[in-house]
Structure 1
Amino acid sequence: MAESLLFSFAESLIGKLASRAVEEASLAFGVHSELQQMKATMALIKGVLLDAEQRNPLSSALSEWLRLLKRVFSDAEDIADDFQCEALRKHVVKTYGDSSRKVRHFFSTSNPLVYRLKMAHRIQDINTRLAKLAAQRSMFGLQIIHQDTRVVHVREMTHSHVNPSNVTGREHDKNQIVKLLVQDVHHQTLSVIPIVGMGGLGKTTLAKLVFNDTNIDACFSLKMWVCVSNDFELRNVLIKILNSDPNPTENFNNFETEQLQNRLRNTLQGQKFLLVLDDVWNEDCVRWDDLKEIIDSDVEGSKILVTTRSHEIATMMRTKFSNFYLLECLSEKDSLSLFLKSAFEDGDEKKHPQLLEIGKEIVKKCGGLPLALKTVGSSLFSRVDKKEWESIRDNEIWNLKQNEKSIFPALKLSYDQLPSYLKPCFASFSLFPEDNEFCCSHISTLWEALGFLPPSKESESVTDVTYQLLHELWSRSFLSDYIDYGTDCSFTLHDLVHDLATYIAKGEFERIDLRNPKISENVQHLAFTDNNLLAQAFPLTGLRSLRFPFGMNNEAFLNTILSTCKYLRVLELCCYEYESLPDCIGKLKHLRCLNLEFSKKLKGLPDSVCKLQNLQNLSLCGCIKLQKLPKGIKNLISLRSLSITTRQLDFPEEEIASLTSLEKLIFCSCDNLVSLFEGILLPTLKILSLHDCKSLKSVSFHAISNLKVLNISECDKLELSMSLGNQIPNSRLKSLILKDLPQLVTLPQWFQGSVNSLETLAIVDCINFKELPDWLPTLICLKILVIFNCPNLLSLPENMHHLTNLKELKIIGCPELYKRFKPKVGQDWHKISHIEKVFIVGLENKEEC
């Protein structure tokens, strides 16, 4: 299924070949015309890739053609990156080499003439292979589609009939939605209530239960059911609505749009109606507004019930006083009931106690998704062989026999609808284990290193761009347990969504474990879970990313990998078991991410690491024996993120100040550091985290006036209360988290400089914190306020109602605040009652509004 990622790769690669660095390098080395030829042939081939992706099933010949194409595209990407590496190398030599012979020698490369000939030969080889593949495309009858605006295959049209006895676990949901539909909403003539959730949750089934409820019959004089699916063209939707009459008297297919809208308005005139729009995919608000204007009949209480997988569509369609209904997975009890109903004749499960126990494990795998429970259960109906049940339990759901109504098509339909730039992002989730909790900052490191992120705007960080893409995936119901912190977010994947990512990515992204020990020949992104499986990795030379298991303890294997996989972009070596890295790490000139977190035996890095001008992320947190950073770290001119644990006394601040791309800096357990940023400026830094730096006394925050995110925790000696003369009046801080700081009594005055920008404020485990300043209500942008375990905080400032943008307030472990602000009954409840979401936890009780 990795073929579905090829169009996105082609788009990205053509953009990279057109970059300024590649253009300049190709002119300098005399290969500009050859590179232009390469781009032109790629553009020609790209035109048919969308059609190729939609061929199902792929013929063996077409599959092989796409495989060869991916290989030559990958080789072309290596050339583009090689030119960029050369440009960065020259920049370092030009910047530092004039004053240092050592720098010039350190970054010396092969003879320029030899390099030019080698690159020319590689480009010629690629052009020859591309020309051959381009000539072969006509063999497959592929059509040219230049833009990813395809209409995806949609499921069959739905209808309104349902047998309630066949539905399990949705009675409460039905009652809640019926209640929303029958109530009058502030004299509004037309309100819209969307039901939102991932594919396979049973949104349509729930809508059917509601549609056929007797309370609905009593409330609405007219009911209409329309399956919209991917077709939201106004004329077609109007025809579907008119045809929803069970006894149509006319054929509306020959009507013009004007006639249709007149006929529909006449039909709706004076009637209180319920219209169900099932399976809506359209995100064009103009089309929706056109339809809504026609069907708004000025009869109070008319309602539209919408089912959709998209949060964005739900937000677009809902009306002023309504909200969308987020449909959750079934409970464990209801899941088991539905599974047993599908797998056994009524009561027969009692005859097979062994199968029942296996069935409970299968139910857990289905994660409360009704369609999955029914699909898997039905596949086992009338089968009593224990081995068959165990096979289903131990294999991915994709190995089950599928039909058009099964779980796989239901979920893959959402994937097919993704824009091409999101598909490789989604596929990358397959590298992580099930039940993994993700955060935006971690994912942004991976996606940037692999070139999945679109270019950021001038004011955006890489994390900002990733956050937007994740929000889009969440809006399409791919992400679960999504928590938005304003500047970051966390989420998980439903097990079956994770399985979908694994299926989609197979052959390109692979996670090697005991269940899946084999490696595809053309894999580019590889994650190991066990050191005993490392021997499976030979021969592999085209790897782009490699995640070793925690505690990697095979130094000989690492040396071999570093020597053969010279195009690595990502190398993760968490909990590495040796005191140093091989010096040949410096030859991985394409490397963008090096993760050595919690390598507790690591004492130092070779200076050759500083040859990695493409390196964007270097993570050394938890490396408690690391003596110092390598010499020449200023040469890492692409470095965006640096997280370190070090024993050194003097941080190389002047070298760090030379890193003009640096956006994120994390200090963790740097026990010997006393001060930071004295006499330097870090204008590009946007995220700073200081954690468990026991000796740290002072930080010159003036050096980082463009900071957006500041996290400080367990820095007992750090002086936070700077004098008034040290205020930072124009700071851009958006998120501030202060944790486990016994010296903190109130917020330092200098934070007031962020009055026009701060969105998230959290004060956690500060046992001596006594007051929030009177100027707190002037934080006009504040959206989230969290106060956790601050027992000496007795009150909140007056004028809390001035925080009109505050959406969420959490107060946990503050006994006096719990008494005063207890929802609805506390003496000061009225001061915060305007906040949309209030969560207050006392010593033993909790209240939420």
Structure 2
Amino acid sequence: MLAVVGMGGIGKTTLVKKLYHEIHADFKKSSFLENVKENNIVEVKKKIIMDLCDSELEDPTTYLRCFQECWAKMKVLVVIDDVKETQIIELLGEDIDGIKRSENGSRLIMTGRNWKDFQNVILKDGKFQMDGLNEQQAMELFSWKAFRQPTPPHDFASITNEVVDACQGLPLSLEVTGSWLFTKRNPQEWKEGLSLLKNAKPFGGDCIENDKLWGRLKISYIDLAYEEREMFLDIACFFSEYNSKFERGVTVQKALQIWKVPSQYSSMSSLQNLMDRSFVKVNDKGNLVMHDQLRDMGRRIVKEASNHKYREQSRIWDKEEAKEVLFNETVTSNIQAIWLPENLQLPEEV
């Protein structure tokens, strides 16, 4: 058992995905469970049983028995990405030692932001602490995004060093900042951008690592056009496959049909700019995806705009808040979109 630990945006998911694709062929069965913390645990259980046992999970109460049987019988690989302690117990059972004692070559890899979520499950020698990129790696990643080459031009070398230092070796910060500065070729604009990065205040009020990262990411968000910012918030709250309320995620074509802007061409241009700026990506299924730190930042922007009063938010994605707003007739003019839970019976007057 291995736990990959590090702050959000440092590249844990990218690392375990690459490892998974390199070694999964060596196992009889394998399962990659992404962003577990934000997903319905019953759906996660269904996926793992389908992946490992080739069968539907008809009764959730039989999950642990099915999982433990598959784990014991076959050499399997399971990757559980972004998980918290309570979910670990629910997915693996109380008898974690049974998983540890596997003698058939099965392997379990988990990722998370806090070691405390794993320390009661995994021995300390099973901890892999991820740190930021080293100086050379950070410079190369940033340069590809900002200059489309592995090193900066000579006349930008000095200020590039300062910008890379301000990003603190975090791949997500380097990508988004580099993509933002790619659009700026005036040295004065870079100096102004560097000043913003150095003076970025924690976004959310707490001097914790997530809030510091969000403070830097928000600089690039503010620089977007109005329509692009609105699209970004829609994706963060509803569309991203990592947290999609739609059964199979949202494709580019479906998103363009939903957005009401002057023309489909302008919609596509705005979405393309979000992709060029590293805010949004399209996965191999054609679905819109977003890094969970960008998603969380987008949701915080929506909450802070309403002073954390969900009835006044522009977007409501939490099902309990959606029920409260709809059933108690508290819909306000601020609300642009609400996610309706499946099988929700609405009052006739709504």
| Shorter-chain TM-score tier | 0.5 to 0.7
Distance in 2, matches of 1:394 and 1:249, equals: 54
Is 1:383 aligned with 2:184?
Answer: yes
Q: CA contact under 8 A between 1:200 and 1:371: conserved in structure 2?
A: yes
Distance in 1, matches of 2:8 and 2:69, equals: 36
Give 1:314 shift: 2.2
Match of 2:22 among 191, 206, 213: 213
Is 1:302 aligned with 2:111?
Answer: no
Is 1:314 aligned with 2:111?
Answer: no
Q: Which residue of 1 aligns with 2:160?
A: 359
Q: Which residue of 1 aligns with 2:315?
A: none
Distance in 1, matches of 2:188 and 2:135, equals: 24
One-letter identity of the residue aligned with 2:49: L
Match of 2:134 among 324, 331, 346: 331
Shift of the 408–265 alpha-carbon distance from structure 1 to 2, 3 Å rule, reads: closer
Q: Which residue of 1 aligns with 2:220?
A: 400
Shift of the 373–232 alpha-carbon distance from structure 1 to 2, 3 Å rule, reads: closer
Distance in 1, matches of 2:88 and 2:147, equals: 46
Shift of the 285–207 alpha-carbon distance from structure 1 to 2, 3 Å rule, reads: closer
Structure (1 or 2) with the greater helix fraction: 2
One-letter identity of the residue aligned with 1:272: K
Shift of the 287–305 alpha-carbon distance from structure 1 to 2, 3 Å rule, reads: same
Give 1:392 shift: 1.4
Q: CA contact under 8 A between 1:204 and 1:307: conserved in structure 2?
A: yes
Distance in 1, matches of 2:86 and 2:65, equals: 25
Q: Structure 2 stretches of 5 or more lacking a match?
A: 201-215, 223-231, 237-277, 280-289, 308-350
Q: CA contact under 8 A between 1:203 and 1:327: conserved in structure 2?
A: yes
Deviation digits for residues 238-259 of structure 1 (CA, Å, limit 9, x no counterpart): 21212446xx96554xx11244
Give 1:384 shift: 1.9
User: Please, what TM-score do these two structures have when normalized by structure 2?
Assistant: 0.52
SS at 2:80's partner residue? strand
Is 1:368 aligned with 2:188?
Answer: no
Q: CA contact under 8 A between 2:146 and 2:180: conserved in structure 1?
A: yes
Q: CA contact under 8 A between 2:139 and 2:151: conserved in structure 1?
A: no
Q: Which residue of 2 aligns with 1:196?
A: 5
Match of 2:46 among 239, 244, 266: 239
Q: CA contact under 8 A between 1:265 and 1:294: conserved in structure 2?
A: no
Q: Which residue of 1 aligns with 2:148?
A: 345
Q: Which residue of 2 aligns with 1:275?
A: 78
Deviation digits for residues 310-347 of structure 1 (CA, Å, limit 9, x no counterpart): 121121331x4742111111111111111001112236
Give 1:306 shift: 0.6
Q: Structure 1 stretches of 5 or more lacking a match?
A: 1-191, 418-503, 508-849
Q: CA contact under 8 A between 2:146 and 2:179: conserved in structure 1?
A: yes
Q: CA contact under 8 A between 2:36 and 2:82: conserved in structure 1?
A: yes
Distance in 1, matches of 2:127 and 2:293, equals: 22
Distance in 1, matches of 2:98 and 2:35, equals: 15
Distance in 2, matches of 1:343 and 1:235, equals: 42
Q: CA contact under 8 A between 2:36 and 2:44: conserved in structure 1?
A: no
CA RMSD of superposed structures (Å): 3.8
One-letter identity of the residue aligned with 1:383: K
Distance in 2, matches of 1:217 and 1:362, equals: 40
Distance in 2, matches of 1:265 and 1:386, equals: 59
Q: 5 Å matches for 1:775-794?
A: none
SS at 2:159's partner residue? helix
Distance in 1, matches of 2:5 and 2:36, equals: 14
Q: 5 Å matches for 1:246-645?
A: 251-252=56-57, 255-283=58-86, 286-287=89-90, 290=93, 296=99, 298-318=102-122, 320=123, 322-346=125-149, 349-350=152-153, 353-395=154-196, 396=200, 397=216, 398-401=218-221, 403=232, 404=236, 410=293, 413=296
Deviation digits for residues 211-241 of structure 1 (CA, Å, limit 9, x no counterpart): 1225x644x3332101253257763332121
Q: CA contact under 8 A between 2:6 and 2:130: conserved in structure 1?
A: yes
Q: CA contact under 8 A between 1:196 and 1:314: conserved in structure 2?
A: no
Shift of the 231–201 alpha-carbon distance from structure 1 to 2, 3 Å rule, reads: closer
Distance in 1, matches of 2:295 and 2:40, equals: 24
Deviation digits for residues 458-505 of structure 1 (CA, Å, limit 9, x no counterpart): xxxxxxxxxxxxxxxxxxxxxxxxxxxxxxxxxxxxxxxxxxxxxx9x
Distance in 1, matches of 2:28 and 2:18, equals: 18
Distance in 2, matches of 1:262 and 1:388, equals: 60
Shift of the 354–321 alpha-carbon distance from structure 1 to 2, 3 Å rule, reads: closer
Shift of the 229–286 alpha-carbon distance from structure 1 to 2, 3 Å rule, reads: closer
Give 1:355 shift: 2.5
One-letter identity of the residue aligned with 2:219: N
User: Please, what TM-score do these two structures have when normalized by structure 1?
Assistant: 0.23
Shift of the 251–335 alpha-carbon distance from structure 1 to 2, 3 Å rule, reads: same
Give 1:378 shift: 1.1
Structure of greater relative contact order (alpha carbons < 8 Å, 6+ residues apart)? 2
Structure (1 or 2) with the greater strand fraction: 1
Q: CA contact under 8 A between 1:271 and 1:299: conserved in structure 2?
A: no
Give 1:265 shift: 4.3
Is 1:230 aligned with 2:113?
Answer: no
SS at 2:79's partner residue? strand
Q: 5 Å matches for 1:659-738?
A: none
SS at 1:339's partner residue? helix
Give 1:382 shift: 4.7
Distance in 1, matches of 2:93 and 2:81, equals: 18
SS at 1:301's partner residue? coil
- Count how many residue pairs are aligned between Structure 1 and Structure 2: 219
SS at 2:133's partner residue? coil
Of the two, which has the highest radius of gyration? 1
Give 1:284 shift: 6.4
SS at 1:279's partner residue? coil
Give 1:348 shift: 7.8
Distance in 2, matches of 1:204 and 1:211, equals: 10
SS at 1:275's partner residue? strand
Q: CA contact under 8 A between 1:224 and 1:244: conserved in structure 2?
A: yes
Q: CA contact under 8 A between 2:28 and 2:75: conserved in structure 1?
A: yes
One-letter identity of the residue aligned with 1:410: Q
Q: CA contact under 8 A between 2:30 and 2:76: conserved in structure 1?
A: yes
Deviation digits for residues 382-403 of structure 1 (CA, Å, limit 9, x no counterpart): 5322222222111132322275
Deviation digits for residues 249-282 of structure 1 (CA, Å, limit 9, x no counterpart): 6554xx1124444544454442122210001134
SS at 1:354's partner residue? helix
Q: Which residue of 1 aligns with 2:339?
A: none
Distance in 2, matches of 1:408 and 1:302, equals: 29
Shift of the 382–195 alpha-carbon distance from structure 1 to 2, 3 Å rule, reads: same
Shift of the 305–358 alpha-carbon distance from structure 1 to 2, 3 Å rule, reads: same
One-letter identity of the residue aligned with 1:401: Y
Shift of the 289–211 alpha-carbon distance from structure 1 to 2, 3 Å rule, reads: closer
Q: CA contact under 8 A between 1:229 and 1:278: conserved in structure 2?
A: yes
Distance in 2, matches of 1:335 and 1:348, equals: 11
Shift of the 328–347 alpha-carbon distance from structure 1 to 2, 3 Å rule, reads: closer
Distance in 1, matches of 2:176 and 2:146, equals: 9
Give 1:210 shift: 1.4
Distance in 1, matches of 2:176 and 2:145, equals: 8
